[in-house]
Structure 1
Amino acid sequence: MVYPASHFLLAALPLIIYTMARWRRLPSGPMVLLLLVATQLPDVIDKPLAWTFAILPSGRMLAHSLVVSLPILTEVVLLAAHRGFGRYAVVFSAGYLSHIAGDFYPILRLGTDYYFFPNLFWPLLAANPDRAPSFAAHSPDNLLSLFVPLVVFGLAVSYSVVAVYRRHERVRTEIPHP
């Protein structure tokens, strides 16, 4: 089981390394916030639809499917690039796909024997339902094990919010008042 902070860190570390190597600075607050949203979105879509509303048989199905997500992400990148936001769309797509990679990495070891393998290609393959379809069934036994990831996650959220606020304030003070 991969938790929200782990999904974020899986995508954030390469972004931080790339930004530091390329521009010698941390990623911007809006970029980190966008990455934060992108890395959580597959679970925000699938888990409630499966575990709360029982619309889907699995919390790794619709938004976790490459058959569904790749065409949508391709369209997002093309539209965003056309409007001058290609870099943001690529970061969003990379974060989104890193979430899927984080959930489906056992395929590297187990291949098609991985229980959730068919879900990656739904609706071309029939999805396997969750064995324990509830949020409670997937909570950690020891909350202390989440301490470091949650602290890092909290710092990333705080950094993003402060950076976005500062940018907003800077733009607001630069606009001449009538």
Structure 2
Amino acid sequence: MWPWGHLALGYLCYLPYEYRARGDASTWLAVGALAVGTQFPDLVDKPLAWTVGVLPSGRSLAHSVLALVVVCGAVYLLCRHAERVVVSVAFGIGYVSHLVGDSVGHVLAGEYEYLVFLVWPLLGTPPYGDEGGFLSHFANLELTSFLAFQFALCVVALGAFLVVQYRLGRAWH
């Protein structure tokens, strides 16, 4: 999934928590933590694999459920100490939605061997071959049905965001 798809999916996953569990709208700090959580695995793994070369794949360390538990646990402890638990929940929802977003295409295609990144390093890395780097990924960007789905998610998420802002009286005039 591309960064904008992860952001949109994360925001749409966060909305039910925001209104059902809490009954109010989150602070900008929580929404910021959500945004960081939706990008966190790629912000760690892609540079360390593609630029520095210390990880075997752009989906390895931070894409592992093992790392998710450790990182989200640490974020929770920090936020609990600062009495901002909702910020840790937002980050966690973003992080989990990232892993779901990177997995769903493989699940739908029946490509289960590509899901081993979820338990890295226990089962190794997916058989991606040469992953290239940042520029090669953007250069090879093609309009596929999955990319179109991500753009549609962005439109829905933006609409939901604007509705939330309007209902909070933060509408732009």
The TM-score with structure 1 as length reference comes to 0.69
- Which secondary structure does the structure 2 equivalent of 1:94 belong to? helix
State the identity %: 35
Quote the offset at 1:110 in angstroms: 5.8
Question: More deviation in 8-17 or 133-142?
Answer: 133-142
Cα distance, 1:25–1:60 mapped onto 2, change above 3 Å? same
Question: More deviation in 61-70 or 24-33?
Answer: 24-33
Q: Distance in 2 between the 1:47 and 1:105 partners?
A: 19
What stretches of structure 2 of length at least 5 have no aligned partner?
Answer: 162-173
Q: Does the 8 Å CA contact 1:16/1:27 hold for their aligned counterparts? A: no
Q: Distance in 1 between the 2:16 and 2:40 partners?
A: 23
Q: In the alignment, which residue of structure 2 is the partner of 1:127? A: 125
Match for 2:137: what amino acid?
Answer: H
Q: Map of 1:1-178 to 2, 5 A cutoff? A: 2-20=1-19, 26-106=25-105, 108-109=107-108, 113-128=111-126, 130-133=128-131, 134-139=133-138, 140-141=141-142, 149=154
Q: How many pairs were matched up?
A: 156
Q: Does the 8 Å CA contact 2:117/2:125 hold for their aligned counterparts? A: yes
The TM-score with structure 2 as length reference comes to 0.71
* Residue-by-residue CA offset, 1:112-166 (whole Å, 9 max, x unaligned): x424222211111122353342223322235x9687749x77xx7xxxxxxxxxx
Quote the offset at 1:25 in angstroms: 5.8
Q: Distance in 1 between the 2:136 and 2:127 partners?
A: 14
Q: Does the 8 Å CA contact 1:59/1:130 hold for their aligned counterparts? A: no
Task: Indicate the RMSD between aligned Cα atoms, in angstroms.
Answer: 3.4
Q: Which has the larger radius of gyration?
A: 1
Q: Does the 8 Å CA contact 1:46/1:61 hold for their aligned counterparts? A: yes
Q: Does the 8 Å CA contact 2:29/2:87 hold for their aligned counterparts? A: no
* Residue-by-residue CA offset, 1:29-86 (whole Å, 9 max, x unaligned): 2222111111111101111111122222210001001122212312321342243121
What stretches of structure 1 of length at least 5 have no aligned partner?
Answer: 157-178
Q: Does the 8 Å CA contact 2:30/2:86 hold for their aligned counterparts? A: no
